[in-house]
Amino acid sequence: MENHCFSNRIATFLQGVADLVRQDFGWFMLFWLLSCSTQVIKWGMMGKTDLVMSMAFTGLLMALLATFITRWLFVPKASKIIRYILVALLFAAFIIEAFVLYQYGALTGVGTINSLFETNPEESAEFLNTFVGVQGGLLAVVIVAVMYCLVKYKPWHKLAADAISQKVIAGIVVVVSSSYAIYMCFAYPGIMFGGDNLTPLTRLMGATSTAWKNHVAYQELQAKLDVDIHLTKNDGHITNIVFILGESTNRNHMHLYGYPMENTPNLDELYKKGEIVFFKDVVSAHSTTVASLSKIFTFCDHESDKPWYDYNNLIDIMNAAGYKTHWLSNQESSGIWGNVAQIYAAHSDVSHYTQIRDSKEDEGRVDGELFPLVDNAIAGIGDSNKNFFVVHLMGAHLAYYNRYPFEFAKFNETSITLPGFNDDQKQVIAQYDNALFYNDYIVSGIIDKFRETNSDTIVIYLPDHGEAVYDEGGVNGHIEENPSRHMIEVPLIMWASEKFKQNHPEKWALIREAIQNPYMTDDMIHTVLDIADIHTADFDPTKSIISRSFNKLRPRIFDDKDYDREILGAGK
């Protein structure tokens, strides 16, 4: 008897589900499409079949719950108003995300919204005209018209099924969708409980909130920046000064610096030909990007008693010296880790990014996408006879396997014959070595592009910081606290064209003589200005690595530790 009652309750429940869906099928399907179709398409493009099925059926359960809540928890009039509002919000978020997915192959993120905050109405109109155009506008109209007709005429009401079939279908939908939702909760908790990862609407709301906070922080930082430039010397006549800013590059993992894996063949060849010099004892002032960039491009250093933005920065100095400045980047265009670089980019005459993204977004675009930007920048030099370029790489940033295309997967775990590593660690080391193998191709490729200009050019390559790759114990990555030497030991490489060597033989001689000098990158602005023959009141020749006045005894302090005595001396 109890079993019969339980069966009746199940049958009643399933019939109620079937009736609910049949009566509100248009709303049910609309909610499902607007809530999860873009995510399903994105994962389908990435070949993630498991996630496609999981999200599709989890979306059905979400749609079922939304249909039940909006119908049964409110009076009919309130239910209709709430549904109209919800559909309007869902549709707006869906249209934005569908456009972003079509144009950029990504979902709505903070970088997308940040770009809107930084765009004026004229730029927005130009953007819409370029990327949406008349065809895109017509397509949007067609989509809206089709949806309107479906909701108005409800063609699904003409479909008929007997009571048993309705219950069976309802049962299958409830069981399968619930099973997938439970699976998603355990397998992908970051998606289910991440707060703003589940639907286009929650992604739009979360991205907008974060983007606004980033925008406010950026504006506050921008307002503090010291741009009052007074040059005490401006004798610079170098046509092109190119600063390649790398990322997370440990020189101890470069064959050029003695690493056993042959992952720098192009730089090795340039060194054999005498075209480049590499400095043997350079360390970064910090092991994180923001802190490093605040020192590399300003006069702020360990001894400073003011924040970095109270000092002149290299971009504004080069502008004041008559250089056309370029900022070309494959890093984030905004965000908590991108605001410092974003300021430098905004102060440059020309700034271009390979992608619009926030600090917490990473689509894995490789640095080769910078080549067209470099080509365009060179082509756009025009009559300018003084140009300063910063090319900001993703380099060897985590995750390493995202930093190189498949054809540069030269090493695998079997290639790593060094003792003391397990298979998982060997795989990560191999991926890092591949990233540096590709980085060698990028850096040498940028050099080649400027070589072809036959102009007076010097190229400087310096990463923001290093990276520990299981070099001591189980540590992989970089952290500001408790640093190891591998997180801060970086390469510094310079290449000069034949015209540079002819026009500035004394500079090239000083560069070659200085390769053994112990150096910390919080003094890098002094070196660049020394090479360029540009000075301000803050310029100090004792802090330029190529100066004969260079102070080799300056303590290199990292996180209140003396690098030479406490970090290097301890063998960390």
370-399 pLDDT, tens digit each: 999 999 999 988 777 999 999 999 998 878
Q: How confident is the model at residue 127 (pLDDT cuts 50, 70, 90)?
A: very low
Most confident of 65-74, 339-348, 520-529: 520-529
Structure confidence at residue 544 as a pLDDT band (50, 70, 90): very high
**Pairing relationship of beta strands 492-496 and 276-279 according to DSSP bridges:** antiparallel
**Global confidence as pTM:** 0.69
For residues 152-161, b (16+ Cβ closer than 10 Å) or e, as one string?
eeeeeeeeee
- The CA R_g of the chain, rounded to the nearest whole Å, is 29
Between 170-174, 181-185, 262-266, 432-436, the lowest mean confidence (pLDDT) is in 170-174
Closest listed residue to residue 531, CA positions, set 442, 462, 451: 462
Identity (one letter) of the amino acid at 229? Answer: I
How far is residue 101's CA from residue 40's CA, in Å, rounded to a whole number? 11
Q: Which of 9, 13, 329 is nearest to 174 (CA)?
A: 13
The segment with the largest mean pLDDT, out of 119-128, 395-404, 438-447, is 438-447
| Residue 435 to residue 336: CA distance in whole angstroms | 25
For range 347-372, the mean pLDDT: 79
Residue 179 vs residues 173, 251, 280: alpha-carbon distances, Å = 10, 49, 58
Report how far apart, in Å, the C-alpha atoms of 84 and of each of 89, 124, 145, 375 are.
9, 28, 16, 50
pLDDT band per the 50, 70, 90 thresholds, residue 167? low
Q: At what angle do helices 265-272 and 423-451 cross, to 10 degrees?
A: 50
For 13, 79, 82, 83, the CA distances from 76, given in Å and listed in that order, are 21, 5, 10, 10
pLDDT tens digit string along 208-227?
776 676 566 566 666 767 77
